[in-house]
Amino acid sequence: MRKQCKGMFTGLLFSLLMSGAALAQGENRAAFGPGEQARYRVQYLGITAGSAQVTVGAPMKQWGKEVWPIVSVAKSESVAGVWPVKDKYVSYWDFNTQRVLGSDMHEDQNHKRRRVRVKMGEDGRSAFVVKQKEGETPREYNHELAEGTLDVAGATFALRNRPLDVGQEYAYPVFTGSKNFLMKAKVEAKETLQTKLGKQEVYRLRVHTEFSGNLAAKRDMTAWLTADARRLPVRIEAELALGSLVAELTEYEQGKVVAPLPAATARNGI
C-alpha cells in the first residue's frame, strides 16, 4: 500500500489542475486574477489524506517577461499507508498572450527530493526540460510540441476564461514535462451541487486524460465548475489505478479582477 500511494497527492494536485483543456479568447474580464486562493480537501478511498492549495500569485518577471505564477501545493496528512508528501508546482502564466511560458516542480516524497523545470520555446513548438534528483547531476531534454501546447495548469486556467455551455467539448495538446497528449473536456450538464461553501450552481464536465502508471484513469474524470463568472473547480472525482480520489473545495478567496488584452488568440474546442 505504501508504495502504491507514493505520488498520490501530486496526482490529485494535477487532477485539480486538469479540470478541462481549451485555450480561447477571454470575455470582458478574466475569471481569475492575482490573489486568488483555493484550498481543497483530498480524500483517498473515502479517508481524508491531505490537502491541495492553488494560488494565483502577484505579477513577476520570468525569462524576461511578466507572468502570473500559478502555485499549487499538495501535502499529505499522517494516515496509514501514505508516505509524507509536500509537492509544489509553479506554472508561469503569461496573461497578455494567454499562454504558459514554463513551469517548476519541486517534489518532496518520503524525504526524497526532485526538481523538474520546463521552459517553453519562443516558437511555441518546443520545450527544454531539466530534471534533477537531489544529489545527482541534472539531466536535460528537448521535446517537440504541437503549436500552442499548454501544461495542465495553463489548460485549466485558459478554460476558466471561456464561457461554458452544456454539450460543448474542448480539446487541447498538453505537455506534462515528459509526455504529450490531447486532453478533452465535455460539459455534460448544469446542476446544483452541495459544497462546503454552500449550494452552488455548477457545470459538470467529463475529462479525458492519457496519464500512465498510478495516474492512469480507469474511466474519465468528473469535475464540477461553478456556473458563475469564476468557473471555479469545486469538486473533482477520479478513479485511478492507485484508487479512488476526491478533492473538495473548502476555502476560497477571490483575486483581483483583470480585463484581458483583445489581442489574445482564440482557439475553439472540437
- pLDDT tens digit string along 173-185? 889 888 888 888 8
Check residue 216 and give its pLDDT. 55
The residue-averaged pLDDT of 34-58 equals: 90
Contacts with 149 (C-beta within 8 Å, 6 or more apart), sequence order: 120, 124, 125, 127, 172, 173, 174, 175, 180
Amino acid at 94: D
Q: How far apart are CA 132 and CA 135, in angstroms?
A: 8
pLDDT class of 23 with cuts at 50, 70, 90: very low
CB 217, CB 15: distance < 8 Å: no
pLDDT class of 56 with cuts at 50, 70, 90: very high
Report which of residues 171 and 136 the model is more confident about: 136
% of the chain with per-residue pLDDT over 90: 46
| CB-based burial label for 196 (10 Å; 0-12, 13-18, 19+) | middle
Q: Reply yes or no on whether the pLDDT at 255 is more than 60.
A: yes
Q: How far apart are CA 35 and CA 64, in angstroms?
A: 22
Cell of 41: 480537501
Mean pLDDT of the chain: 81
The residue-averaged pLDDT of 233-244 equals: 84
Q: How far apart are CA 187 and CA 185, in angstroms?
A: 7
